[in-house]
Amino acid sequence: MPRWQRRVASNVNGHDGTVRVTGPLAPLIGALIGALGGAVYWLAAQIWPSSVAMILSMAATALLSTEMRSALPATRLDVLSRVLCLLIKYNALMALSAAKLPFAVPANVPPALIMICGYSASFALAVSVMATRPEKSMPVSGGALALALLIGFAPAGLLGIPGLIGLTAAIVAALSIIAVLKLKRAGGSKDVLDMTQLLTEVLFYLGALATWRYV
């Protein structure tokens, strides 16, 4: 078993070693979560309004993501920041649900593809944050980081210019987090990785939404 897998398996009860990502395969896990959310949205949209379908989709992805977090109690600020990000995410995804992709797809499929792109990119960027402080978090080799970024960034190209702009916004957010960590000499803890994934995902959607009307 690779070292990063052994490290994850030995730190599952909350600690700096507990992370939501699994090394270079993290973007694949993110894509699977996004695909699950998209599938729930598509199925629910056959019965209920799109707003209800989006809530059920976000609930499904949140439940799956929660299983990857530790049982440590969250602070009030942490809860408020997560709620704010989720509200922004909901409104951005609702606006993106009517987006026209560069290629023809069935109705209610665009949100699924957009969520796959957002989750895979955000999980890849969480790996990059983890790699910046190897002495205080799980070590990531250069090859593993390159593979994670390649896998995580590739789906955004399917969305065309909006996907690339969204990816740029997510990368800027991740670089800002890395700069703060280096300034404070902090490590890539569980909380930092969780917030990195959520913030970069939200920024991906906002960046894509900001440019979609112009293409």
Single pTM value for the model: 0.83
| 37 burial type by CB count under 10 A (0-12 exposed, 13-18 middle, 19+ buried) | buried
End-to-end CA distance of the chain: 46
* Cα(204)–Cα(171) distance, integer angstroms: 9
**pLDDT (0 to 100) of residue 15:** 34
**pLDDT (0 to 100) of residue 20:** 43
Amino acid identity for residue 72 in this structure: L
Amino acid identity for residue 83 in this structure: V
* Cα(126)–Cα(97) distance, integer angstroms: 25
Tokens standing for 127? 């790996």
DSSP class of residue 137 equals: S
Say how many C-beta atoms besides its own lie within 10 A of residue 94's C-beta.
16
**pLDDT (0 to 100) of residue 38:** 94
**pLDDT (0 to 100) of residue 186:** 59
**pLDDT (0 to 100) of residue 14:** 37
Q: DSSP 3-state assignment of 18? A: coil
**pLDDT (0 to 100) of residue 83:** 86
**pLDDT (0 to 100) of residue 113:** 94
**pLDDT (0 to 100) of residue 22:** 61
Q: DSSP 3-state assignment of 10? A: coil
Contacts of 65 (CB under 8 A, 6+ apart): 20, 33
Going by C-alpha positions, the residue among 99, 31, 22 that lies closest to residue 68 is: 22
Ranges of residues in the chain with a pLDDT under 70 are 1-23, 66-78, 133-139, 185-190, 215
